[in-house]
C-alpha cells in the first residue's frame, strides 16, 4: 500500500521539488498552497506521470480552519498520513530598525505558527497509528542569523527549537521529528537578493555553487523515509558547506 505525505507550500521551489520527489518514489501526495492555482495545476500534470494519487488544495498556513480541512480531505482520500513536510514560508529583507510589528507578526504567523498549525492538525492521525515522520524546513539563517533578516532568522530558529522539543515528546509514540536547514538555494524567494549577491554567495560556498530545490528535496525525503528510522531531533544542513 502506497504511503502518503502532506506537503505545505508545495507548488513552488523546495515544496514543489519535494512533491515530485515523493511522487517519484511512489508516495501519494497531499499538498496545499497559498496562492497560485495555475502552479498547482502544472504540478498535478507532472505528478500524474508517476501513477500516484495527488490531492492539492488552496490553504494558507495562517488559517487553522483551512489547514484542518486539508488534513480532513487527505484522511478521507488516502486513509491516513505517513509523513508531514512543513515547508511553507516567507522571507523579507529589512534593517531591524525598519521592521514593523506587522512585519514581525506576519513572519512568525507564517514561518513558525504555520508549522504549529499544520502539526496540530495532522498529529492525531500519526498518534492513532503510532508511527510517522514530521520534517520541518528551517534555514541556515535560523542557525547563524542573517543581517537585515532578523525577523526571518528568529522565526526559523524557533522552528529548530520546536523540532527538537517535539522529537523528545513524540518519540515514544513512534513519531520522528527532524528539520532540514537549507543554505542558499536557487528559488524565487531568494531572487530578492539579486543575481550579483547570489553569485557572491555561491563563491563563498565550499562546493562552489548555490543549491537547487532538488538538493533539499532529497534530504527531506530521506528524513521522511524508513531509511532514517533511527534519526530524530536532528537538523540536517543542506548548504554546500556554507555553514559547518
Which residues are tagged catalytic? 152
Give residue for cell 517519484: 24
SS3 call for 146: coil
Distance CA 209, CA 203 (A): 7
Contacts of 7 by beta carbon, 8 Å cutoff, 6+ apart: 15, 18, 19, 22, 29, 30, 31, 32, 85, 87
Distance CA 27, CA 89 (A): 23
Beta bridge partners of 211: 185
SS3 call for 120: helix
SS3 call for 198: helix
Cell of 118: 499544520
SS3 call for 49: coil
Amino acid at each position: 500500500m502506497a504511503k502518503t505525505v502532506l506537503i505545505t507550500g508545495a507548488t513552488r521551489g523546495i515544496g514543489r521539488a519535494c512533491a515530485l520527489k515523493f511522487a517519484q518514489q511512489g508516495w501519494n501526495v497531499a499538498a496545499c498552497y497559498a496562492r497560485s492555482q495555475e502552479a498547482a495545476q502544472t504540478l498535478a500534470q507532472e505528478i500524474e506521470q508517476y501513477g500516484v494519487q495527488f490531492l492539492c488544495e488552496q490553504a494558507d498556513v495562517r488559517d487553522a480552519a483551512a489547514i484542518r480541512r486539508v488534513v480532513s480531505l487527505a484522511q478521507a482520500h488516502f486513509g491516513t498520513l505517513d509523513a508531514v513536510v512543513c515547508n511553507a514560508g516567507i522571507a523579507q529583507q529589512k534593517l531591524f530598525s525598519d521592521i514593523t510589528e506587522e512585519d514581525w507578526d506576519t513572519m512568525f504567523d507564517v514561518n513558525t505558527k504555520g508549522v504549529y498549525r499544520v502539526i496540530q492538525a495532522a498529529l492525531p492521525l500519526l498518534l492513532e497509528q503510532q508511527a510517522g515522520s514530521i520534517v520541518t524546513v528551517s534555514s541556515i539563517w535560523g542557525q547563524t542569523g542573517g543581517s537585515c533578516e532578523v525577523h526571518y532568522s528568529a522565526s526559523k530558529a524557533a522552528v529548530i527549537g520546536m523540532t527538537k522539543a517535539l522529537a523528545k515528546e513524540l518519540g515514544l509514540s513512534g513519531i520522528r521529528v527532524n528539520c532540514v536547514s537549507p543554505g542558499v538555494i536557487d528559488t524565487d524567494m531568494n531572487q530578492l537578493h539579486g543575481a550579483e549577491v547570489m553569485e557572491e554567495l555561491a563563491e563563498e560556498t565550499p562546493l562552489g555553487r548555490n543549491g537547487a530545490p532538488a538538493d533539499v528535496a532529497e534530504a527531506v525525503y530521506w528524513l521522511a523515509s524508513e531509511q532514517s528510522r533511527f534519526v530524530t531531533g536532528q537538523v540536517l544542513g543542506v548548504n554546500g558547506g556554507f555553514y559547518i
